[in-house]
């Protein structure tokens, strides 16, 4: 990963120019098919990594000759995993630890933003470093939260709701920003 006064870039990623919503949908389908899932003791289809789909839009006004650019990041976070309950081992254990560590670092970024801290620890993980320009500055963040209504998942649901509450209190250090959280049962 590299960033020299500009947005963070990741080596070996593919950038695909598109001209239609259908092409975007095809890329999203490809992304979905390439996501790694595996069974754990708690979940038969557990995401084993986070997934980021970034859409950059450039619009040219022919009459004014002005160019406008925007970026939409669609991020699917893998869920945190209680190692004692998932009983992960080997590769799955390493994946779970990496997921939990990156989620903890993301939580630390949101905590720093909600406390209006002078230092936001974006560089503590690849995930937060990559999201730096869309969580701070002149950006808006919308979090969709999937929760379980099953009683056996109550602790995880409560933790997710606490995280969403913290995120909803965040304010960017740049221009006015609202973080919205939508909870989907």
CA proximity to 51, closest of 81, 25, 29, 22? 29
The pairing of beta strand 179-184 with beta strand 141-146: parallel
pLDDT band (50, 70, 90) for residue 4:
low
Check residue 89 and give its pLDDT: 86
Q: What is the pLDDT of residue 91?
A: 87
133 vs 100, more confident: 100
Question: Pick the residue with more confidence: 178 or 44?
Answer: 44
In CATH, the number for domain 37-184 is 3.40.850.10
Looking at residue 17, what is its pLDDT?
Answer: 92
Answer yes or no: is pLDDT of 176 > 80.
Answer: no
- Taking CA atoms, 25 is separated from 30, 31, 144, in Å, by 9, 10, 19
The pLDDT value recorded for residue 178 is 46
pLDDT category of residue 177 using cuts at 50, 70 and 90: very low
pLDDT at 119: 92
- Taking residues 137-145, report their average pLDDT: 81
- Quickly state the pLDDT bin for 168 (edges 50, 70, 90): confident
């Amino acid at each position: 990963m590299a960033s020299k006064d500009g947005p963070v870039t990741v080596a070996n990623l593919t950038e695909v120019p598109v001209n239609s919503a259908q092409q975007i949908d095809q890329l999203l389908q490809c992304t979905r098919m390439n996501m790694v899932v595996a069974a754990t003791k708690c979940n038969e289809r557990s995401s084993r990594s986070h997934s980021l789909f970034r859409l950059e839009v450039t619009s040219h006004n022919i009459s004014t000759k002005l160019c406008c650019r925007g970026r939409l990041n669609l991020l699917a976070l893998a869920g945190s995993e209680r190692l004692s309950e998932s009983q992960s081992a080997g590769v799955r254990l390493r994946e779970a630890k990496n997921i939990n560590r990156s989620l903890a670092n993301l939580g630390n970024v949101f905590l720093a933003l909600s406390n209006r801290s002078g230092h936001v620890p974006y560089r503590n993980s690849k995930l937060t470093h990559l999201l730096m320009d869309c969580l701070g500055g002149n950006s808006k963040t919308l979090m969709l939260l999937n929760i379980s209504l099953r009683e056996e998942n109550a602790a995880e649901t409560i933790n997710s709701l606490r995280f969403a509450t913290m995120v909803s209190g965040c304010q960017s250090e740049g221009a006015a920003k609202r973080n919205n959280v939508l909870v989907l049962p």
